[in-house]
């Protein structure tokens, strides 16, 4: 990490840092990537669709602030261990450092216990949990060598709470939250902070059908303290905070960004 002394002026600056955001071609991943670029980071955007990724990268570079940030496309499948290793090696060969990892890729398949085959569960665990483990393992080596780094895992409010018909996703996200705590303990002595963000209900493309549903809207107005959907850009501040000097003494934590869903009943 940048060793420059923190001041009120640079507390959230990410200038000179290299980051990777997975699942960054749209939705929350794209908003977090944009925010890191705006704060001056050189951000590699990951996704499986090269065309969508190029469009996202262009958007980040068009909206960047004057801090020298840059977005670059890096298409690969995070569930492919060999491809992941090659991607991290490419970043290190290009930038000679690795400062920030945001594990954002997720897969969801709402099914009951009897309705979800074991192979489908394994696929969800590979995407939501094992891929994050692999990425953490690969970036931990250069982070240890340079004396620090930031790992941010995107979990969900479905980690600490549950509902019927969604056990596989809750299992995967709960495991990711537990992994966050475990890696914070293991990597902390090397100056590596490991935290998580647990989003609530956000009005992303993936949730478009629910956003347009009047019953869901009415339910969410009653269920959340703020009485509304989160807008995708509202995840950005949490990501910048945990990636920056402002969170230098924060590790092993899950920052919930849910409009008060978990606090409200």
Locate 145 and state its tokens: 């060598």
Q: How far is CA 13 from the centre of its chain?
A: 18
Bridge partner residues of 198 (DSSP):
256
Locate 21 and state its tokens: 């955001």
- E strands present in the chain: 18-21, 42-47, 70-75, 100-103, 149-154, 192-199, 254-257
Output the CA–CA distances (angstroms, integers) from residue 106 to 16, 103, 128, 155, in the order listed.
28, 9, 5, 9
The helix/strand/coil state of 20 is strand
- Which positions are annotated as active-site residues? 169
131 contact partners, CB below 8 Å, separation of at least 6:
22, 78, 79, 84, 103, 105
């Amino acid at each position: 990490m940048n060793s420059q002394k923190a001041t009120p002026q640079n507390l959230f600056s990410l200038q000179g840092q290299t980051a990777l955001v997975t699942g960054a071609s749209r939705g929350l991943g794209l908003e977090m990537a944009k925010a890191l670029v705006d704060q001056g980071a050189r951000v590699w955007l990951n996704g499986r669709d090269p065309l969508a990724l190029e469009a996202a990268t262009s958007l980040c570079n068009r909206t960047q602030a004057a801090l020298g940030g840059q977005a670059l496309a890096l298409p690969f499948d995070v569930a492919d261990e060999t491809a992941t290793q090659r991607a991290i090696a490419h970043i290190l060969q290009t930038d000679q450092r690795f400062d920030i990892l945001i594990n954002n890729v997720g897969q969801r398949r709402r099914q009951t216990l009897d309705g979800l085959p074991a192979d489908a569960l394994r696929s969800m665990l590979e995407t939501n949990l094992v891929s994050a483990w692999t990425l953490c393992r690969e970036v931990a080596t250069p982070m240890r060598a340079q004396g620090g780094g930031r790992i941010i895992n995107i979990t969900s409010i479905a980690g600490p709470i549950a509902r019927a018909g969604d056990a596989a996703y809750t299992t995967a996200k709960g495991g990711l939250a537990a992994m966050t705590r475990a890696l914070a303990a293991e990597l902390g002595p090397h100056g590596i902070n490991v935290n998580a963000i647990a989003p609530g209900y956000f009005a992303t493309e993936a949730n478009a059908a629910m956003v347009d549903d009047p019953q869901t809207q009415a339910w969410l107005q009653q269920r959340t303290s703020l009485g509304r959907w989160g807008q995708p850009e509202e995840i950005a501040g949490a990501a910048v905070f945990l990636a920056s000097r402002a969170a230098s003494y924060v590790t092993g934590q899950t920052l919930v960004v849910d409009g008060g869903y978990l606090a409200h009943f």
